[in-house]
Amino acid sequence: MARKYLIAGNWKLNNGGLKGVELAAAVVQASKEVAGLVEVVVSPPFTALAAVSAELEGSHVEVAGQNLYPKDSGAFTGEISAPMLDESGAKWVIIGHSERRQYFGETDEQVGAKVAAATAAGIKPIACVGETLAEREAGNTMTVVFRQLESIVPELNKKPGFGVIAYEPVWAIGTGKVATNEQAQEVHAAIREQLKKTSAELAEVTRILYGGSVKADNAAGLLACADIDGALVGGAALDAAGFAQIAKAAKASGHDN
Ligand code: PEP
């Protein structure tokens, strides 16, 4: 079964107002030629979600939140729930990004609860995993990634193919140090093997994105790898033309994943 490429932009703490609407409109224009062939997603801050969703209505580009709280409503000041993301027009949500794990102390257990809440609300989770440089250098990459997957995989298995995994080595995020194609493919293949232990179907249909300093000039090689089904893009997603180049590289990648 073919897995459609997914190119998702993580805008982080940028473009929370009118600038976000303008960037989203520019992404639609710049990436028109991939419509229907590659899924394209942008993730503005919460404050711009509804306006960006309205701007993108009827286009080939969808919207993601960057986080959620795993309760639908209640006394949780400052939090946003999965049904609220849905009301804002978001179809996707990034969960467990390394910055959330590192700066906000998100645990594997919380990440699993968030993936569950998103899935239950019909919001597609992009669940992030990845090792730090120290963990890689200690030879612990797979141990760390498999531990992070433990809380995520049972939730993804409730609706195989609905949610996706993003492998983002922490040492490659925002550093300009991209993993080599071989380093990325090795971990992606290992993640798929791990998914097989739950079910062959889950392994076959789950898209595994690579994230970490993906740019227009290195995307083609990464996306040509057999187990890389797309990219989660940070810095390069803030420029519509460069981001669209990555989506076009996915379209051009000949391999039938
Ligand atoms: C990210 O934050 O998910 C990311 C991959 O960032 P960058 O592309 O800037 O490394």
Neighbours of 110 (CB within 10 A): 18
Phi, psi of 256 (to 5 degrees): -95, 90
Closest CA to 207 of 171, 248, 242, 156: 156
Spatial contact of 152 and 129, defined as CB atoms under 8 Å apart: yes
The tokens for 118 are: 């998103």
Pair of tokens at residue 164: 């996706």
Rounded distance, CA 62 to CA 237, Å? 14
Cβ distance 6 to 229 under 8 Å? yes
Q: Which residues of the chain are modeled with pLDDT < 70? A: 1, 254-257
Measured from the CA of 173, which atom of ligand 1 is nearest? 10
Q: Which residue type occupies 184?
A: A
- Whether 53 and 61 have beta carbons less than 8 Å apart is answered as no
Query: Three-state SS for 186?
Result: helix
Give the model's pLDDT for residue 257: 55
User: Which numbered atom of ligand 1 lies nearest the CA of 233?
Assistant: 8
- Which of 249, 191, 236, 246 has its CA nearest to residue 11? 236
Indicate the residue type of 30.
A
Measured between alpha carbons, how far is 253 from 257 in angstroms, rounded to an integer? 10
d(CA 127, CA 149): 9
Which of the listed residues 173, 178, 238 should we mutate to test ligand 1's pocket, taking the one with most ligand atoms within 8 A of CB? 173
pLDDT of 254? 61
Tokens describing residue 213 = 């300093």
Q: How many Cβ atoms sit within 10 Å of the Cβ of residue 44?
A: 30
Question: Distance between CA atoms of 2 and 38, rounded to whole angstroms?
Answer: 12
Look up 168 and say whether it is catalytic. Answer: yes
Q: Say if 226 falls within a structural domain.
A: yes
pLDDT at 2: 84
State the DSSP code for 33. G
For residue 1, tell me if it sits in a domain.
no
Q: Whose CA is nearest to atom 1 of ligand 1?
A: 234
Buried b (16+ CB within 10 A) or exposed e, 170-208: bbbbeeeebbebebbbbbbebbbebbeebeeebbebbbb
Q: Name the domain count of the chain.
A: 1
Domain that holds residue 121: 6-252
Residue 97 designated active-site: yes
How does DSSP classify residue 105? -
Model confidence over 127-179: pLDDT tens digits? Answer: 999 999 999 999 999 999 999 999 999 999 999 999 999 999 999 998 988 89
Q: What is the CATH number of the domain that holds 121?
A: 3.20.20.70
> Which residues line ligand 1 at a C-beta cut-off of 6 Å?
10, 168, 173-174, 211-214, 232-236
Ligand 1, atom nearest to 215 Cα: 8
Which pLDDT score, from 0 to 100, does residue 255 have?
61
